[in-house]
Amino acid sequence: MNVSQPNFSARLSVALRAFWRILNDAAFAGGVLRLESGVAAPPALPDEPAKSAPLRETSPDAAMQLLALLQQEGRFVDFLEENVTAYSDAEIGGAARVVHEGCRKVVRDYLKIEPVRAENEGARLTLAAGFDPATVRLTGNVVGQPPFTGTLMHRGWRVAQITLPKLADGHDARVLAPAEVEL
C-alpha cells in the first residue's frame, strides 16, 4: 500500500478510527481541526513528556456480581443468550417484560442512578469553556471553541451510589448462575 495515497479501504479504515477518536478525545479533535484549518500544531517542549491519562486496572468482580444479580432477578443472561429470531414479537415482548421487571428491581436495589444534567430534554443550554467532555458529548455541527449553545437531546445517566452485597472470601464471582440439576 502506498502511504502517501492509500487505497479506498485504507482511507475508510482511517476515517472510521478517526471518527470514533474525535468523538471520544477532545485533544485529538482539536488537532484535527487545527490540521484542517492549516494551523500548525503547537511545538512540544523538548523536556516535556507526552501527557496522557494513566490507565488503571479495574476489578471485574463488581461487574460480574452485578451481572449475576441481573441474572438471578431478571434472567438477563438467559435472555441475551437466547436466539430470539424464531419467536414472534409478542412472545419476545412478553419475555422482555419479565426481564425488564427483574433487572429494574436490581438496578433500583443496588444502584442510585441520577441524570447527568438537571435540565429537561429539549431545553436550550450553553456549555462554557472547561465543561467536562466525560459528562457531555457534543453532536451535530461541532466547530470552534466553547461556549457552545445547543439543545439537550439526552440528560445522560451517572451512578451516584453503589451498594452491592459483600462477597465471601473464596466466592467465585465468575459464576453468574450455577447450573441447575433437578433430581
- pLDDT single digits (tens) 81-117: 999 999 999 999 999 999 999 999 999 999 999 999 9
What is the average per-residue pLDDT within 137-152? 93
> What integer best gives the mean pLDDT of the chain?
85
What gap in Å lies between CA 121 and CA 88, rounded to an integer?
Answer: 33
What is the average per-residue pLDDT within 158-167? 92
Residues, the chain: 183
What gap in Å lies between CA 21 and CA 23, rounded to an integer?
Answer: 5
What is the average per-residue pLDDT within 64-77? 94
**In this prediction, what percent of the chain has a pLDDT beyond 70?**
85
pTM above 0.85, yes or no: no
Mean pLDDT is lowest, of 16-25, 47-56, 145-154, for: 47-56
How high is the pLDDT of residue 41? 57
How high is the pLDDT of residue 149? 94
How high is the pLDDT of residue 30? 77
Between 43 and 103, where is the model more confident? Answer: 103
DSSP 173: T
How high is the pLDDT of residue 45? 44
Between 51 and 54, where is the model more confident? Answer: 54
pLDDT of 31 > 60? The answer is yes
What is the average per-residue pLDDT within 49-67? 81
Give the pLDDT band of residue 152 (cuts 50, 70, 90): very high
What gap in Å lies between CA 126 and CA 149, rounded to an integer?
Answer: 4
Between 9 and 61, where is the model more confident? Answer: 61
Q: Which residues contact 54 (CB under 8 A, 6 or more apart)?
A: none
How high is the pLDDT of residue 53? 78
What gap in Å lies between CA 153 and CA 119, rounded to an integer?
Answer: 10
